[in-house]
């Protein structure tokens, strides 16, 4: 089954890698450093809620979370194989990596669509 999914997993890997490369530096610099360190004023709860009420923003945020999760899962899977030489645990590692990405996607979708429209 893993074999048949492989082309699709590589597709998710490159989509997620592109999303992470284009958007994560800006989001991380703002949310992770500039806001908590007080360099810039974080957006108010109201502003974020207004943004998230728009269906396009919800799709954007879902893609922003889900695709990089699959990218990370895929790359980390191969890091474990090559770096730690865990080739004999293929099925277990794949299940844990992609399972975590799926769970994150479900949690994101649930939160996004729980926001009243």
Partner 1 sequence: MSSAARYTPYHPRWHRRRVSVWWWLEKGSYTVFVLRELTSVAVAFFAVVTLGLVRAVAAGPEAYQRFLARLGTPLFLSLHVVAFLFVLFHAITWFNLAPKAMVVRIKGKRVPDAIVAGLNYGAWLVLSGAVAFFLLRG
Residues forming contacts to partner 1 in the complex (CB under 8 A) are 14, 16-18, 20-33, 35-37, 40-49, 51-52, 61, 64-66, 68-69, 71-76, 78-79, 82-85, 100, 104, 107-108, 111-112, 114-115
Secondary structure (DSSP) of 18-52: HHHHHHHHHHIIIIIIITTTTSSPPPPHHHHHHHH
CB contact at 8 A, 13 and 69: no
Q: Which is nearer to partner 1, 40 or 92 (CB)?
A: 40
Reference 106, options 66, 72, 54; nearest CA is 66
Q: Which is nearer to partner 1, 33 or 91 (CB)?
A: 33
CB of 2 to partner 1, least distance (A): 18
CB of 57 to partner 1, least distance (A): 8
Positive or negative, the Cα torsion across 21, 27, 29, 32? negative
Which H/E stretch holds residue 9? helix 2-27
Q: Which is nearer to partner 1, 45 or 88 (CB)?
A: 45
CB of 102 to partner 1, least distance (A): 13
């Amino acid at each position: 089954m893993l074999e048949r999914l492989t082309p699709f997993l590589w597709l998710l890997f490159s989509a997620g890698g592109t999303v992470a490369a284009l958007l994560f530096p800006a989001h991380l610099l703002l949310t992770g450093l500039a806001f908590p360190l007080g360099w810039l004023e974080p957006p108010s709860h109201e502003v974020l809620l207004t943004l998230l009420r728009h269906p396009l923003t919800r799709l954007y945020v879902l893609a922003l979370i889900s695709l990089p999760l699959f990218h990370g899962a895929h790359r980390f899977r191969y890091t474990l194989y090559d770096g730690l030489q865990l080739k004999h645990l293929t099925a277990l590692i794949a299940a844990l990596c992609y399972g975590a990405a799926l769970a994150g996607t479900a949690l994101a979708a649930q939160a996004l669509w729980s926001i009243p429209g």
